[in-house]
Structure 1
Amino acid sequence: MKHISAALGALAVALLPHAAMAETRPMTAQDLVTLKRLGAPAVAPDGQTVVFQQVDTDPVTHKRTPGLWRVPARGDAATRIADLPEAGESSPAFSPDGKRLYFISGKSGRDQLWFLDLTDPAATPVQASDFKADVAGFLLSPNGQRVLVWGDVARDCPTLGCDSDGNTSEPGPGTGRLYRDGAGFVRHWDSWETPGNYSRGFALALAADGKVTGEAAALDGPPGTLTGDTPSKPMGGAEELAWQADSNGVFFAARQADRHEPISTNLDIWHSPLDGTAPHNLTAGNKATDTLPAASPDGQWLAWAAMERPGYEADRLVVQLLNLKTGQKRALTAGWDRSVSSLAWTPDSKALIATAQDVLDTPAFRIDIASGKAQRLKLAPKGLTEANVANVVPLKDGRIVFTRDAIANPAEVFIAAKGKPGTQLSQANAATLAALTPVSTTRYSFAGAQGATVWGQIHKPANATAKLPVLLFVHGGPQGSYNDSWSSRWNPALFAAQGYAVVSIDFHGSTGYGQAFTDAINRDWGGKPLEDLKKGLDAALARDAALDGTRTCALGASYGGYMMNWIQSEWADRFQCLVNHNGVFDNRGMAYSTEELWFTEWEHGGKPYHEAPEEYEKWNPASRVAKWQTPMLVVLGEKDFRIPYSQGLGAFTALQRKGVPAELLVFPDENHWVLKPKNSLQWHQTVFSWLDRWLKAGK
């Protein structure tokens, strides 16, 4: 990638979508945890009404409650709908005839399917299912006569929930679990596995009264045919399942659960005819990831996204197209150097609307199925960047409903007419955001490692008059991006509001810049990325005189936490302090204790540690502790099985034995992320206190 001139690369935008106002105040961590959180919108078949999930957080107890809100597509105030007090409602979906709104609620004591009769203004919600297991998600069939539900049940259970959970670990008189040879995952993300229990999908009929009825048809067929999780764990959802147009079958993504699962990214697209016969693997020839199945409304096409390289979770996702009538397959976007993150058909079945990271935005693209050409769409309101577009719903008249979030604001619901800028429909956080002092951001580019163009951003209080201490944010992944999107965890606007300038850099390995740029970090964790960070910070200091380069701290989580450990020895004299959240400390320990083994093996040359120890040791922070000298705050979650907490504990022990000032913050009830509101408050209080100690004391 060649360097783009700074004149073209620099872009300054206002972070908060309002002008500076009198009597505004800086954003706080309390604001971050209590801002309303919106989910994917559902649109009525006539296109006139939008319903979305909104999660509210009590400002005193910090209890979170999801609810459903309705807003006219033409624009007006949103109103609460289908309210079940003390229960919460989520995952709204209109029936194809528009007469009912289905959703999930735990009102009965378990998460079940409910609906609201939209033809009766006085109607109250009705429970539509009574399974023995929680309903994790559902999809209504195109003809409205069936529903697909999924949840965790035993592999031999014929429906969603049986008396037994299928546990085959044979508990004895004690509390021990026995995992036999070849068990595959024994723990994943933040949970120990229950052998014999999987996330499974079932199709059932809907009676005339709207309730679930009849026998269930299991997507995975009879026991012994396919054993695995649908959707995939831990992050999979409704995007991994799709009804075929005639409602007689379901396409879904699944990976065989066996001894190879921890080293396999071979998620496949399967088809289940729902007649009791075994499902059929449509992508058996590809040993890498196949996901995001999407069936065209006219019944002719199946689209999905596929990677090419087995074992590589960050490979490019290329849109594939299967003609369901002729069986002909083709790679639709093979010539487009972007990786899609979602797919939705236009109602006329002539195009797909996809989202994909593109430099510092995640916009929507229209992909013509005849030519494969991807056209970037302008959906954001006039004057705003595309930022992070998601949850796209194309309508029959060419309009598109979607959510948009940015560094400036959490997700809100928008609608855009064909060829016109979008209009914001929801105003869930408008009042709170209007009361906050604006923060500004500047996009900039510079020549990074090997002369490649690398992008960064500078965030700072818009009203700052004095020079600002600088925070360098390093993103995780490592194949990720600090792009223009909202974060409820690592939020640069919140840190800037505390009186800091925040610099973030999309170093080699980041996504949204083409696959070669993403691949550049493979086997080079401490090489080009560190060079980019050094050059990027220098470029930020050179372009903005408000940044005080004599007062700097660096922060990062996951790979970003690894980089904090690496900086300790390789950039030791630059920072007054570091913050390492769940970062890798010892590559050998990580290789033998993480759960998704494919990740560490790919990143370090494709072999396990015992076959190529030199690959792992080349970039191993634990082998360079002798040079550590920078004060560090270490944060870890005891339920983090991705980067086990012993990694953070090891870093803290190294600091203590070296006599380097350090603090350790441990969350016994958090995983790789800090998700609980009160824990988030404590996290921010601790981190801010640490930063202030080293950057503001005596200033």
Structure 2
Amino acid sequence: MTSTRLLHPLTALLLATASLGAVHAAHAADATAPAAKHAITHEDVWLMKRVGAPVPSPDGKWAVFAVTDTAYDSKEQWSDLWIKSLADDSAPRRLTFSKGGEGSVNWSPDSKQLIFIAKRDGDDAGQIYRIDVAGGGEAQRLTTLTLGARSPKFSPDGKQILFVSDLFPGATDEESIKKIAKERKDRKYSARAYETFPPRFFDKWLDDKQVRLFVMDAQIGAKPKDILSGSKLAAMPGFGGGQGDEGQSLDAIWAPDGKTVVFSASTNRDELARASAYTQIFALPASGGEASQLTADKHSYNNLKFSPDGKTLLCLTQAETEGKVYDLDRLASFAWPLTSPQPKILTAALDRSISRFALPADGKRIYFTFEHAGLEQLHSISYAGGDVKAEPSAATGSINSLNAGGNALVGVWESAINPPEVFAFNGKAPKRLTSFNVEKAAAIDWQAPEHFWFKTPDGRQIHNMIVKPANFDPNKKYPLFAVIHGGAANMWRDQFVLRWNYHLLAKPGYVVLLTDYKGSTGYGEEFARSIQFDPLKGPGDEVNQAVDEAINKYSYVDGSKLAAGGASYGGHLANWLQATTTRYKAIVSHAGEMDLVMQWGTSDSVYGREVNSGGPVWGNLPVWRDQSPIMQAGNHEKGTGFKTPILITVGELDYRVPVNNALMNFAAQQRLNTPSKLVVFPDENHWVLKGENSRYFYNEVHGWLAKYLK
């Protein structure tokens, strides 16, 4: 890796369009009179169609994916399944016509039927529906469960379906679940009670539902069977799955013989306030009974898949190293039937975290992507491991989904100037299969991000991207807006972003700087771990250095007009910068913490913060105080403290960085007579996800920056 890596925006754009075929012939034919382009608008960002992950059929002939037709009023928004032939260049066609949307698509082994999860005809919870792709017709509902169904999967012979659902404590069947649900709906009090941690997750107070696995015949009217309840595993107080918006999930798949279910689950969820949760692999007869534990360590295993020949179980694994804040996701394999509980780590020599992997039917190579320097490109490795090979990929952008069916390999590719579309990856240059957003994107005046690197005083190489506004003139001077990513275990990607769209932020005439500070992913395990014991100061110093490097490197950056902002961990760092430097004219902080101790005690995630700071909050550890922005608020004798005008925004339903942080922030600013504005979104969580709220958020950010930078 060299200290500088430059992709000229025009060069990057030409590379991307040449390899991906993103320019329509009609545009080329009209080269003498190019259509006028416009600066990006919020409508451009919000109303781009949102293309979901394609799921190819087992025979490799078709791919099905969701497409969301967006609207500012959520009641007017539609999401449907589309299908695209992988054998020819025919246009994709809409497969479903339902306002509610569909998810968790799974093909039957003969590639003739699909099952998916949807809410239709008054469903209170998502149910399993089946549609005959070969014969046509309407989708048929297969389940009518009070608590719904999730993650359905056909058995290898197509005769049964495995899925995830929930039970209430004490319930033994659907009738008792229905009875308890009615009793809870009718009760007069609204109190919640907890004896285990966490009580809430992102924007939801958690309940006492218990996650379970079910198997049913793939027929209308078939009765699902709970195959987990009654087992010793399910009775463990720490048993559970990963927490998601729809409840806990269990990563479960059919074994090749169709008689066994293999899944990963946690047995120490009851220790989340004092330990990391780890997930082990288990096997369970599809008819029910006792589960067998297949792994015997304290690592985590997820994303389980069997090789096409059924002889290898593959997954991603994290070491869950004690006392460390980050572990790589590595690709691992087990011989099947299992001969040893110890996995073979296929990517042990690759110092990158695997994002996703796919297994074409030819069984020759495993295909995967990983983060690196703003990109996610395609790579492969043999089943023996060790021989990582770069596969044909676009020179820019990110692959954000990847699935195999037959020998077909498909996914979604996007870049900052190319909204998501479905692509085929067939060993040649990636081929674009859909064009939902191509025409809209071609009408926008935008440039691909420009990449550059610099070295920190302690020797780290730091990657950055520069994004320029519409009508950019290199002979002019532009204010710089340093936008800080969240995480911190995250990376700025060359991709089309909805919540902090680079080009929309730059639109009024700003150069946007995106820096992957220490703690970011995409640069190796130790780089991501380097934030430990130094949660804000070190990353903040590197953001400041990135600003200096941009000022020195690019003559069009006006070093006298600087702003900084970010969300989540980026909001934490925005607060830190406001407290420790006065070089910025304006700060924007969304969902930013103010006090490490308060954030530890009120967030829905606590143990990782304790590990990051070196010990519990009641220990004599200076980091809890020394790196809390609120404790630096009055450092005016040092020439710092809260002086820079700050815009504070927060979702009232944010339980990851609770609203008390924003309230403390605003109180301190007002106490110190610092120009400040608090914007609260009562119906938003950690992110601003509603259309009109999003438009208002961008207007507030633009207005704040204009007030102090123009």
TM-score (norm 1): 0.90
Equivalent residue letter for 2:521 = T
SS of corresponding position for 2:423: strand
Partner of 2:531: 521
Q: Counterpart amino acid of 2:305?
A: A
Q: Give the residue type in structure 1 aligned to 2:485.
A: H
Kept after mapping to 1: 8 A contact 2:604/2:656: yes
Deviates more, 1:29-38 or 1:166-175: 166-175
Moved more, 222-231 or 562-571: 222-231
Deviation per CA, 1:53-94: give whole Å up to 9, x if none. 00111356673221011222222322211223x443333332
1:681 equivalent to 2:681? Answer no
2-structure distance, mates of 1:212, 1:353: 39
Q: Deviations over 1:95-115 (max 9, x none)?
A: 111221222221222222222
Contact 1:265-1:311 within 8 A present in 2 as well = no
| Structure 2 Cα separation of the partners of residues 600 and 254 of structure 1 | 23
Q: Deviations over 1:667-693 (max 9, x none)?
A: 111111111222111211211111121
- Answering whether residue 51 of structure 2 is matched by residue 41 of structure 1, we say no
Out of 551, 556, 566, the position equivalent to 1:556 is: 566
Q: Counterparts of 2:663 and 2:70 in 1: how far apart (Å)?
A: 32
Distance 2:247 2:329 in 1: 16
Q: Deviations over 1:422-442 (max 9, x none)?
A: 111111112221221123321
Q: Provide the rounded CA distance (Å) in 2 between the counterparts of 1:282 and 1:104.
A: 30
Deviation for aligned residue 1:663:
0.6
Is the CA contact 1:254–1:268 (under 8 Å) kept in the aligned structure 2? yes
Q: Which amino acid aligns with 1:409?
A: N
* 1:353 equivalenced with 2:367 (yes/no): yes
| Structure 2 partner of 1:281 | 293
> Which residue number in structure 1 is paired with residue 674 of structure 2?
660
The corresponding residue for 2:638 is none
Query: Are the counterparts in 1 of residues 6 and 450 from structure 2 also a CA contact under 8 Å?
Result: no
Is residue 2:104 matched to residue 1:105? Answer: no
CA distance in 2 between counterparts of 1:313 and 1:65 reads 40
Distance (Å, rounded) in 2 between the aligned partners of 1:59 and 1:593: 32
Change (3 A) 1:90 1:233: closer
**Gap runs ≥5 in structure 2:** 635-640
Give 1:295 shift: 2.0
* Structure 1 residue identity aligned to 2:605: E
Give the letter for the 2:439 counterpart: A
Tell me which of 183, 200, 205 is aligned to 1:192.
205
Question: 1:341–1:354: 8 Å Cα contact kept in structure 2?
Answer: yes
Which piece of structure 1 moves more, 142-151 or 595-604?
Answer: 142-151
Relative to structure 1, is the Cα distance of residues 166 and 80 closer, same or farther in structure 2, using a 3 angstrom cutoff?
Answer: closer
Question: 1:609 is matched with which residue: 617, 620, 638?
Answer: 617
Q: 1 CA distance for matches of 2:338 and 2:213?
A: 28
Which amino acid is 2:609 matched to? T
- How many angstroms apart in 2 are the aligned matches of 1:240 and 1:657? 50
Match of 1:344 in 2: 358
Provide the rounded CA distance (Å) in 1 between the counterparts of 2:677 and 2:509: 23
Alignment pair present for 1:372 and 2:381 = no
- Alignment partners' CA distance in 1, 2:452 and 2:355: 25
Task: Answer yes or no: is 1:634 the counterpart of 2:648.
Answer: yes
Q: Separation in 1 of the partners of 2:73 and 2:593?
A: 36
In the alignment, does 2:520 pair up with 1:505? no
Partner residue, 1:131: 145
Is residue 15 of structure 2 the alignment partner of residue 5 of structure 1? no
Instruction: Tell me the amino acid that sits aligned with residue 667 of structure 1.
Output: F
CA shift for structure 1 position 500: 1.5
- TM-aligned CA distance change 1:142 to 1:233, over 3 Å: same
Going from structure 1 to structure 2, the CA distance change for 1:498 and 1:315 (only over 3 Å counts) comes to same
What secondary structure is seen at the aligned counterpart in 2 of 1:264? coil
Structure-2 separation of matches of 1:238 and 1:539: 45
Relative to 1, partners in 2 of residues 1:156 and 1:374: Cα closer, same or farther, differing over 3 Å?
farther
Once the two structures are TM-superposed, the CA of residue 413 in structure 1 deviates from its matched residue by: 0.4
Higher mean alpha-carbon deviation, 244-253 vs 33-42, is at 244-253
Q: Structure 1 residue 491 and structure 2 residue 501: aligned?
A: yes
CA distance in 2, matches of 1:664, 1:549: 27
Per-residue deviation at 1:349?
3.7
Q: CA deviation at 1:612?
A: 4.0
Residue of 576, 584, 590 corresponding to 2:585: 576
Equivalents in 2 of 1:170, 1:608: separation in Å?
Answer: 40
CA deviation after TM superposition for structure 1 residue 151, in Å = 3.5
TM-score normalised to structure 2 length: 0.89
Decide which of 186, 192, 199 is 1:177's aligned counterpart: 192
Q: Distance in 1 between matches of 2:404 and 2:256?
A: 16
Answer yes or no: is the 8 Å Cα contact 2:356–2:370 preserved in 1.
yes
Q: Which moved further from structure 2: 167-176 or 255-264?
A: 167-176
* Aligned match of 1:79: 93
The more displaced of 9-18 and 275-284 is 9-18
Amino acid at match of 2:213: G
1:423 to 431, 453, 475: 431
Alpha-carbon distance in 1 for matches of 2:345, 2:191: 48
CA separation of 1:167 and 1:97: change in aligned 2, threshold 3 A: same
- Inter-partner Cα distance in structure 2 for 1:462 and 1:400: 36
Quick one: which of 520, 538, 541 aligns to 1:531? 541
Identity score, percent: 27
Q: How does 1:99-498 map to 2 (within 5 A)?
A: 99-110=112-123, 111-121=126-136, 123-158=137-172, 162-164=177-179, 174-180=189-195, 183-195=196-208, 197-207=209-219, 211=220, 213-219=222-228, 222=231, 224-225=235-236, 228-233=239-244, 240-256=251-267, 258-262=269-273, 263-286=275-298, 288-308=299-319, 309-310=321-322, 312=324, 314-325=326-337, 327-328=339-340, 329=342, 330-380=344-394, 384-385=395-396, 387-397=397-407, 399-418=408-427, 420-461=428-469, 463-465=471-473, 466-498=476-508
Amino acid at match of 2:610: E
* Deviations 1:208-246 (CA, angstroms, capped at 9, x unpaired): xxx362441334653525764445435999893322222
2-structure distance, mates of 1:235, 1:640: 17
- Mapped contact 1:560–1:583 kept (Cα < 8 A): yes
Query: Does the alignment pair 1:547 with 2:545?
Result: no
Aligned length: 676
Cα distance change on mapping 1:561 and 1:58 into 2, 3 Å: closer
Find the residue that maps to 1:451 and give its secondary structure: coil
User: How far off is 1:401 after superposition?
Assistant: 0.8
- Tell me how far apart the structure 2 counterparts of residues 543 and 611 of structure 1 sit (CA, whole Å): 44
Query: Could you say if the C-alpha distance between residues 168 and 618 of structure 1 is closer, same or farther in structure 2, counting changes exceeding 3 Å?
Result: farther
Residue 519 of structure 1 deviates from its aligned partner by 0.8
- The one-letter code sitting in structure 2 at the alignment partner of 1:281 is Q
Distance 1:631 1:159, change over 3 A: farther
CA deviation after TM superposition for structure 1 residue 172, in Å? 8.1
TM-superposed deviation, 1:355: 2.0
1:115 partner letter? R
CA distance in structure 2 between the aligned counterparts of 1:165 and 1:350, rounded to whole angstroms: 51
Partner SS, residue 213 of structure 1: coil
- Asked if 2 retains the 8 angstrom alpha-carbon contact of 1:170 and 1:178, the reply is no
Residues 129, 143 of structure 2: 8 Å contact kept: yes
* In structure 1, C-alpha distance between the alignment counterparts of 2:186 and 2:465, rounded to whole Å: 53
Tell me what 2:709 maps to. Answer: 695
Which residue, 586, 602, 622 being the options, matches 1:593?
602
What is the deviation of 1:501?
Answer: 0.8
Question: Which amino acid is the alignment partner of residue 655 of structure 2?
Answer: F
1:459/1:502 contact within 8 Å kept: yes
RMSD: 2.7
Which moved further from structure 2: 576-585 or 532-541? 532-541
In structure 2, how many angstroms separate the alpha carbons of the residues matched to 1:168 and 1:585? 42
* Contact residue 418 and residue 438 of structure 2 kept, 8 A: no
Residue type of the alignment partner of 1:113: I
Q: CA deviation at 1:499?
A: 2.1
Once the two structures are TM-superposed, the CA of residue 138 in structure 1 deviates from its matched residue by 1.7
Which SS does the other structure have where 1:689 is aligned?
helix
2:637 corresponds in structure 1 to none
Which residue identity is paired with 1:264?
S
Structure 1: segments with no counterpart, 5+ residues: none
Asked if 2 retains the 8 angstrom alpha-carbon contact of 1:62 and 1:677, the reply is no
